[in-house]
Chains A and B, each alone.
Chain A
Amino acid sequence: MDVAINGPKILFTLPFAGGINITESVVHGWLVVAVVTGVCYWLTRDLSVTNPSRKQIIAEKLVTLVQGLVDANMGPQWKHMVPYIGTLFAFSFLSSVMSVAGLRSPTADFSVTLAMALVTFVLIEFYYYKSKGLLGFFTRLTEPVIVMTPMNIIGEFATPLSMSLRHFGNIASGAVITALVYGALAALSQFILGWIPNTFIANIPIAQVGLPAVLSVYFDLFSSAIQAYIFVMLTMANIAGTAD
């Protein structure tokens, strides 16, 4: 019994630019886009002002939830950020939670979480530039004293790095632990039923029933939601912090 802990699988390679590897992370990202597109399209068909249907109420609830989150953490002047925050949460959560279906989470790939965090980083820098101007954009790094400048620059890059590593680490470690537990339970099943001469019966992974489901609630559902929430909260806090 060997347990393999791999990176994302390369599903196919595009034959130009020296071969572009299309991995599971990318394809599963497409899946997220497809699912979100379908759900959004379905939810917002036949919208009505006076007589909302059940799915419209769900759509309105989702929108007002994100609006409330942005309003509470960033303030009403950041209203235009609402769709992006919603996008980020949906992408992060759905990417992580698809491991419930046995699909490798795109967020268990550091390239994906780094890409997400870099978007936040660009937004942070952009809003610093917008609120402080070109001079203020650079002079803020020399505060409170000029000696702090190297620290401030490191701190600036530490934000996306820590965000992406936290997200990646939590989801990937969950996947690793789940794989290890599955491997161990397969070995345990072998140990319990291995003496039976019938190979079909001997290979029933009896010990894998139950425990993985409990772990899945934590690693797949809870951890996915928490990590998406943390990522979104940090994004909001850092972007809103640029106006101070």
Chain B
Amino acid sequence: MKYLEFFTIDVWTMIFTWINMAILFTVVKMLLFKPVMKILDQRDAEIKKIYDDANQANEQAENLKREYDAKMARAREEAGEIIKQATLSAQRREAEIISDAQEKANIMTKRAEAEIAQERKKAYQEIKSEISDISVAIAGKMVQREITAKDHEALISQFIENVGEV
């Protein structure tokens, strides 16, 4: 068996070592680093995509919620408006009805007052004519005895006084 020196520089060993290192570098790069780095990059990209998707979905949900909230607020406002309108119109209607009723009552009262006044006038006329009749009748009776013009006058005014003011 032949040996090289323990401490020596053998050019061919160096050359073969370089060849070995070159082969090893190619192998390590092509069989290990390249495929694994590719996988790691793909995984990173996938994770990024998942995050992006999640963020997008979140954003969408938030937008929907905002929209829904806005719609709800608008609906509530509308409902309030409707109630307010209804209350207002009811109040208006109430006032109308009351004023109507009052007006009617006023008219009726006036008519009744007018009627009463007329009736009273009528009654007064009637009474007056009746008084005339009675006074005529009394005069007729008085004719039977002697009556002075003085008596006559006293009698009528006394009667009218008894009837009272109209």
Contact = CB atoms under 8 A, between A and B. Distances in A.
**Are A and B genuine complex partners?**
yes
Interface string A32-50: 1100110011011001111
- Going nearest first, the 7 A-B pairs with the smallest beta carbon separation are A111-B13, A40-B31, A7-B4, A115-B17, A83-B29, A115-B14, A6-B3
B33 A109 contact: no
Interface string A51-67: 01000100110111010
Contact of A87 (B3, B8, B21, B35): B21
A110 B17 CA distance: 11
A26 B31 CA distance: 22
Given A7-B5, A26-B13, A112-B17, A33 B23 contact: yes
Contacts of A8: 3-4, 13
B25 interface: yes
Given A41-B31, A87-B28, 11 more contacts: A21-B4, A26-B12, A29-B20, A49-B43, A83-B25, A109-B4, A109-B13, A112-B14, A112-B17, A115-B13, A115-B14
Interface magnitude class on chain A: 35 or more
A25 B42 CA distance: 40
B1 interface: yes
A10 B33 contact: no
Interface residues of B, number: 38
A5 interface: yes
B13 A84 contact: no
B57 interface: no
B17 A106 contact: yes
A10 B32 CA distance: 33
Nearest to A60: B36
Nearest to A88: B21
A172 interface: yes
Nearest to A118: B14
A40 B17 contact: no
Binding site of A, secondary structure by majority: helix, strand, loop or mixed?
helix
B36 A49 contact: no
Interface string B26-48: 01110111111101101100100
Interface core residue of A40, A50, A56, A62 (most chain B CB under 10 Å): A40
Interface core residue of A32, A60, A115 (most chain B CB under 10 Å): A115
Contact of A47 (B1, B17, B21, B36): B36
Interface of B: 1-18, 20-21, 23-25, 27-29, 31-37, 39-40, 42-43, 46
Contact of B4 (A23, A52, A90, A119): A23
A8 B2 CA distance: 9
Given A26-B20, A40-B28, A10 B14 contact: no
A166 B124 CA distance: 154
A110 B29 CA distance: 26
B18 A119 contact: yes
A232 interface: no
Contacts of B40: 60, 63-64
A20 B27 contact: no
B17 A44 contact: no
A69 B64 CA distance: 47
Interface string A155-195: 00000000000000000100000000000000000000000
A69 to B, nearest CB: 13
Contacts of B32: 40, 43-44, 59, 62-63, 83, 86
B14 A111 contact: yes
29 contacts: A8-B13, A9-B3, A21-B12, A25-B13, A26-B17, A26-B20, A29-B17, A30-B20, A33-B23, A40-B32, A49-B43, A50-B43, A56-B36, A60-B36, A62-B36, A63-B32, A66-B33, A82-B33, A83-B25, A84-B25, A86-B28, A87-B24, A87-B25, A91-B20, A110-B8, A111-B11, A112-B14, A115-B21, A116-B21
